[in-house]
Every structure is written in structure tokens, then in C-alpha cells.
Structure 1
Amino acid sequence: MLAVLLRLLSFFTGQPLASPKQLAQLQSELGMQQAKTAALEELNGKLRAELKTQQQQNEQQQMALRLTLEGRISARQQEMSTLREAYEQLARSVDLETQRQIRENNALLNQLNWLSGTIAHDFRAPLRAIDAYSFFLADDLGANAPPEAEKSLEEIRRNGKRMGVLLDALIEYLRLGVCPLNLQTHSLQNILEQVVDEHFDFSPVPIEIQVSGQFKFDKALVMRLFKELIDNAVKFAKPVEQPRVQIRMASPNTLEIIDNGVGFSQAHDAQKFRLFHRMHGNDEFEGEGIGLAMAERIATRHHWTLQLARVGNQTVASLELETDS
């Protein structure tokens, strides 16, 4: 009967009507949709709460990080300020120390100049007198002078001349320690070739040059250094049957001057660069023990290291050079 009434109602209204079963199904679906909507709203609320909590935590972390960074920056600024004050204090101290050293160096230079002048004049005056009076005495004695007297006078003049050479060497040695350096970059090969051409053009000992490199040094002083080292090598190599001198680069910063001469005894190893120290007797080789001391003095002024060693049957003079940075 209900179904018939529903059909009649649908016929008169012109609209389809759902059956009770369909209405129940629709109500069930509507209930499910409402439940889902409520669940979604609950989930959305939870997400909003979690997001708010996360934002609060992020803000707290950012605040803590900001405070930490500000603390570190403040500490670093304080540290930099302390270092700056310490540096300024050190700079003032170094400046004062530099001024003190300059004053001391100037005082030392004045003393050396005074000593050089004293040696050059006051010490030479007695030598000139001794030399002159020896000639006067020889002239007074004339041809009747005893042979012993002539020999003694000749010995006096010879030693006076030697003393003059020693005084010149001492003055030059002192000058090398205080003279200003004209540091320029030069070719090592060009300098050595110039030294050999000027001083060893007629050397009886062959000199072989195999060097390279640009270094900063005082040209005049380093030419003197090489002249002394090569002269020492040639002098002691000359007596052997096949003498030779080789100048080579053992490394990019190490120059060696090698000779196959007679060498020197280990007893002289500690004193070989001492001024006026001879490593051979006066009757064996000429010289006054000046050359090596001059060379070592010049090397020291350039912060180079000069060494002399006997290796097998060869004498090796090695120079550790500072590069031109």
C-alpha cells in the first residue's frame, strides 16, 4: 500500500521519490560523510596545534641560536680588541727596540770607523818609520855591511810589508761587516763568467762553469766572494798533475766550487774561516789566511751559508743561497 501511495505522489508531483530503503542508504551515507568531516576537522585541529608548537619551538631555537651567535661575536670582538691592543703594544715595543738597535749599530759603526782610521794612520806610521830607517841603515852600512846585517834588514822590510798587508785585510774585513748592501737581482752565470774573465783569464787550471738562476745580492761584494773562493780552489789545485775547477749547481739553491787539489787537514776544520788562519805552511803556498775569511764574511751579510769540506780527493766549497722572493 505504501509503495502505491508513493507512486501516486510521484505521479502528481512529477518528481521521483526515493524508497525507504534508498532513504536509509542516503542517511547512512550522510552519517558517514559527517563522521569523515568531523574526523578531518579533528585532524586539522591537531595539525594546526602541532604546527603552532613547531613554530614556537623554531622561534625558541632561533632565539637561542641568535643569543649564542651574539655571545660568540661579542667574545670574538673582545678577543680581537685584546689582540689589537697587544699588537699595538708590541709594535710600540718593537719600534723602541728598533730605535735602540739603530743607535747601537750607529755607535758600533762609529767605533769601527774610528778603529779603521786608527789602523790606517796610527798603526801605519811606525811601519813606515821601520821601513824607512831600515833603508837608511842599509845605506849607512853601504857595501861593507855584513851579510848577517843585510839579511836582518831584508827580514825587517819583508815583515813590515807583510804587516801592511795584514792591516789592509783587517780594515777590509771590518768594512765588509758594516758597509751598506746594494741588493739587486742578477744572473749567477753572468757574474761568475765576469769574475773568471777579469781575474782568471790566464789561469793554468781549467775552470768549468755550469750554473743558472737569478738571485738578489750585492754584485760587487759577491764578485769578491767568488773571486776569493775560485782563487783558493785554483791555488790548491795547481800542484796536481791534471788540475781542474768545476762550478756547478748541486740544487736550485746550492752552488758548489769543486777542485781536485791538495785539500786541507781536518785539524784546520774549525778555524778555516778565521781571519789570518793559514791551513798550510808559508813555504808551501802563498797567502795570509785572508780569502776564505772575506768570503765567509760576505756570505753571512747575504744570509748565505758557506761551507768547505774535503770529499774524497776533492775540496768542495758550497754556498746555500737565499732565493729572490
Structure 2
Amino acid sequence: MLRLLIQLLSFVTGQRLLTPDQAKRQQLELEDLRSKQIALEALSNKLRGEMKRQQSMARDALKSRQIKLERVISAKQNDIDSLNETLKQLSQSVDFETQRQIKENTDLLAQLNWLSGTIAHDFRAPLRAIDAYTFFLADDLGDTVPPEAEKSLEEIRRNGKRMGVLLDALIEYLRLGVCPLNIQPHDLGETLTQVINEHFDFSPVPIELQVQGQWRFDKPLMMRTFKELIDNAIKFSRDTESPKIIIRQSSPHCLEIIDTGVGFAEEHKAQKFQLFHRMHGNDEFKGEGIGLATAERIASRHHIALRLNRVGSQTVVSLQLPETLNP
């Protein structure tokens, strides 16, 4: 009945009237919405607070990291400044050392030039005088020169000429130590073939060539080295049975000149590349102890290790080129 009356009043007034139960339900819904709104506002405030806290922590962490980074950069800059100072001091030291070495080399070159000039002129004057006076003495004596005196005069002349040869070798040896090098890549086989054709076309000892590839060297000087080494091998092999010389490569960086000659005694091993040192007597083989010393001098200027060894019945001369210098 109450519901019907409320509906009638709602129709008459044009307003929606609620029954007590509906009003109570609606009130509960409103209270629930207010509760949820309050909870939502509390959550929103909490989120805002947490966001502010996180932002503050992020700002503090960023500021702390920035301070640390600035400290690291400052420390690194100090290290860089210290390193630059060390490099500057080292550069100055290197420049000073380089200048000192250049001055020493210049002084040494000047001394060598002076010594070469002294040997070429001042040392030769007495030799020329000795040689001339032997002829003057022989001419003064005429036909009355005793045989023994004639023999002595010839011996004086012979030793004078030998002294001239030694002086020439010494001057050349000094020159080889200071002359400029024109180092270029060259075909090793072609260079050795040229040496053999120019100097050993009529060699009494067969020469077998087994070489290929390129090395970097000053061609005229290395041709001189090869010529001296091959000439040495021929000299000590020519009187042996079935002599033979083999020029081969044990590796791309190692050249070997092998002969079946008489070799050398062990007591000469330490001095084999010493200028004027002979490993055999004059009655056995001719020579002044110049060839090996000259070859070693040129090889060392190319940073090539020259070795001489006796392996069984063979003499092996090896030229070892550092791999860093190979083209």
C-alpha cells in the first residue's frame, strides 16, 4: 500500500520518491562511495608522497654520483697531467740523448775520415819511400848485388806491397762501417746469379743455386758480401775431392752457402770474422784475412747475422735475416 502511495505521489509531483528501503540502500551506496573516495584520495596522497620521496632519492643519488664522477674525472685529469709531464720530460730526455748520439756519431765519422786520410796518405809515404829506395839501392849496386841481397830486396818490396794491400783493406773496412745504405727489396736469386756470372763464370768448383724470394738490402754491398763468401768457399774447396758449392735457403729468412772444403780449426772459431785474422797459413792458402771480415761488416749493417760453422765434412756459412726486416 505504501509503495503504491509513493508511486502515486511521484506521478503527481513529477519527482521520484524513494521508499524507506530504497533511501536506506541509496544512503549506504553513498557512504560506500564516500569511503572509496576517501581511500582513493589517501592512496593518491600516498602515491604523491612516495613519488616525491623517490624523486628526492633519485636527485640525491644523481647528485652523489655526479660528485663521485667529478672526483674521478678530476683524478683522471691529474693522472693525464702527470702523464703529459712525464712524456714531456721523456721527450726532452730522448731529444737530448738523440742529439748526444748524433754528435757522437758525427765526431766518430770525423775521426774515421781523419784516420782514413791519415792511412791513405801519411802511412803510404814511408811505404813508397821503402819501395823506391830498394830500387835505388839495387841500381847503385848494379851487377854486384849478391844473390842474398837481391832476395832481401825482393822480400822488402813484397812486404811493402802486402802492407799497401792491408792499408787499402783497412780503409775499405772503415768506409763500410759509415757509408750510407740504399736498402730496397731485391730478388735474391737474381742477385746471386749476377754475382756468379760476374765473378765466377769460370769457377773451378761447381756452384748449385737453390734460392728464391726477395730480401731487403743495399744491392752493391750485399753483392760484395756474396762475392767474398763464395770466393772463400771456392778457395778452400778447389783442392778437395769432388768439390761442390751449394747455395740454398733453409727458410725464407736464412741463406746458406755450403762447401766441402777443408774447413777451419776450432781454435780459430772465435776470431773467424776478425779483420786480418787468417785461419790457414800462407803456405796453405793465399789471402790476408779480409774477405770474411768484410762480409760480416756489411751483413751487420743490414742486421743480418752471419755465422760460420763446420757440420760434418761441410762448412756452412749462414746469413740469418730477422723476420721483421723481410719484405
Question: Structure 1 residues 30-39 or 285-294, which shifts more?
Answer: 30-39
1:293 and 2:305 aligned: no
Q: Which residue of 2 aligns with 1:263?
A: 263
- Aligned counterparts of 2:154 and 2:299: Cα–Cα separation in 1: 38
1:264-290 C-alpha deviation (Å, 9 max, x unpaired): 222212111111111122222221111
Instruction: Normalising by structure 2, report the TM-score.
Output: 0.86
Distance 1:121 1:44, change over 3 A: same
* Structure 1 gap segments, 5+ residues each: none
Distance in structure 1 (CA, Å) of the matches to 2:46 and 2:151: 126
Looking at structure 1, the residues matched to 250 and 30 of structure 2 have their Cα atoms a distance apart, in angstroms, of: 100
Using a 3 Å threshold, how does the CA distance of structure 1 residues 44 and 257 change in structure 2: closer, same or farther?
Answer: farther
Secondary structure of the 2:123 match is helix
How many residue pairs get aligned? The number is 324
User: How far apart, CA to CA, are the structure 1 residues paired with 2:247 and 2:69?
Assistant: 63
Listed one character per residue, the Cα deviations across residues 60-116 of structure 1 (whole Å, up to 9, x for unaligned) are: 222222222222223333332333333333333333333333333222222222211
Give 1:147 deviation, angstroms. Answer: 3.8
Q: Equivalent residue for 1:56?
A: 56
CA contact (8 A) 2:258 2:315 kept: yes
Looking at structure 2, the residues matched to 228 and 25 of structure 1 have their Cα atoms a distance apart, in angstroms, of: 125
Amino acid in the other structure paired with 1:213: Q
Counterpart residue type for residue 75 of structure 1: A
Mapped pair 1:208 → 2:235? no
Per-residue deviation at 1:143?
Answer: 5.6
CA contact (8 A) 2:306 2:319 kept: yes
SS in 2 for 1:178: coil
Instruction: Please name the residue that 1:278 is paired with.
Output: 278
The percent identity for this pair of structures is 64
Q: How far is the alpha carbon of 1:168 from its aligned partner?
A: 0.7
Per the alignment, do residues 304 and 15 of structure 1 end up closer, same or farther by CA in structure 2, a change over 3 Å counting? same
Structure 1 residues 88 and 139: alpha-carbon distance in aligned structure 2, compared to 1, 3 A threshold: same
Moved more, 314-323 or 267-276: 314-323
Distance 1:233 1:19 in 2: 136
Q: Is the 8 A contact 2:210 2:249 kept in 1?
A: no
Mapped contact 1:212–1:249 kept (Cα < 8 A): no
Match of 2:219 in 1: 219
Distance, in Å, in 1 between the alignment partners of 2:226 and 2:10 is 130
Note if 1:302 corresponds to 2:302. yes
Kept after mapping to 2: 8 A contact 1:211/1:247: no
**8 Å contact kept, 1:257–1:317:** yes
Partner of 1:157: 157
Residue 38 (structure 1) shift: 2.9
Structure-to-structure mapping, 1:1-325, within 5 angstroms: 1-12=1-12, 20-141=20-141, 145-205=145-205, 206-215=207-216, 217-322=217-322, 323=325
Quick one: which amino acid aligns to residue 229 of structure 1? L
Going from structure 1 to structure 2, the CA distance change for 1:60 and 1:236 (only over 3 Å counts) comes to: farther
Contact 1:258 1:317 in 2 (8 A): yes
